[in-house]
Amino acid sequence: MEAGSQRESDPIVIRPSRDADIDAMLAIYRRHIRRGVEEGAEEGGMPEPDDLRDRRKNMRNRRLPHLVATSGGEIVGYAYAVLFRKRPAYRYTAKHSIYVHHEHLGRGVGRLLLQALIDACAAAGFRQMIGYIDADNAASLGLHERFGFSRVGFLPGVAYRYGRWADSVMVQRPLGPGSTTTPPPLLGR
Ligand SMILES: CC(C)(COP(=O)(O)OP(=O)(O)OC[C@H]1O[C@@H](n2cnc3c(N)ncnc32)[C@H](O)[C@@H]1OP(=O)(O)O)[C@@H](O)C(=O)NCCC(=O)NCCS
């Protein structure tokens, strides 16, 4: 497969994102949410570069991972974690997102990003990772299952898009000792 200057054989490298990556990340994201827009459903604004820039800055301050995958010098995917909830009691639990460029699906980018994100969250002291996945998103459900995430919740009809109600699946994975030991007293508050 050829996509711009990249080749399937180019190695995939994961690194922390930079401000200069923002446009490429937004393009990946927009492409995924534009899918099906003609059917009339995606409401609310698309994120703007400034939104993403602010989010990255906030996350850096809180030591939350924000990663990109590159191949042949192009951004082919990104992944990041935020706090599951803002209240202090939840500070050991991260919630994550992962997006792969539509021309680079199925070549292991998601696998590398998710492994790196798991490692980075564990290293930052998080004890649980949580994801919300569309119930009909077989690729994401498969990816998370492969990395030991369990399905811990089913949320029927929580989204309305592309002209229909959609269900979400909540997945969770412990990190390091999970909830079997007391956490250290301070973590990125
Ligand atoms: C989900 C997503 C990140 C997977 O990325 P990817 O780079 O295509 O995935 P990989 O090639 O690394 O595949 C890793 C694993 O995911 C699963 N997987 C990937 N595509 C799949 C598909 N179409 N059907 C079922 N399982 C699939 C498999 O378990 C695969 O492991 P295997 O190769 O050993 O079989 C990608 O499809 C994507 O960005 N989707 C749109 C955005 C999205 O849905 N994000 C997740 C929101 S929670």
Q: Is residue 114 part of a domain?
A: yes
Q: Is residue 31 part of a domain?
A: yes
Q: Is residue 121 part of a domain?
A: yes
Angle at 63 between CA 121 and CA 17, to 5 degrees: 85
The enclosing domain of 51 has a CATH number of 3.40.630.30
In the chain (189 residues long), the average pLDDT of successive 10-residue segments reads 61 96 94 58 63 76 88 96 94 96 96 98 96 96 98 97 93 97 74
How high is the pLDDT of residue 35?
65
The boundaries of the domain holding residue 108 are 7-129
Q: How far is the CA of 180 from the centre of ligand 1 (A)?
A: 30
Residue 18 beta carbon below 6 angstroms from any ligand 1 atom: no
Would you give the DSSP letter of residue 90?
G
C-alpha 113/C-alpha 136 separation (Å) is: 21
Q: Is residue 119 part of a domain?
A: yes
Q: How many domains does the chain have?
A: 1
If you take atom 12 of ligand 1, which residue's CA is the nearest one? 108
Residue 178's CB is within 10 A of a number of other CB atoms, namely 12
Q: Is residue 149 part of a domain?
A: no
Q: How far is the CA of 185 from the centre of ligand 1 (A)?
A: 36
Q: Is residue 143 part of a domain?
A: no
How high is the pLDDT of residue 38?
35
Instruction: For residue 109, give the ligand 1 atom closest to its CA.
Output: 7
Q: Is residue 113 part of a domain?
A: yes
Angle at 105 between CA 133 and CA 140, to 5 degrees: 15
pTM for the structure as a whole: 0.90
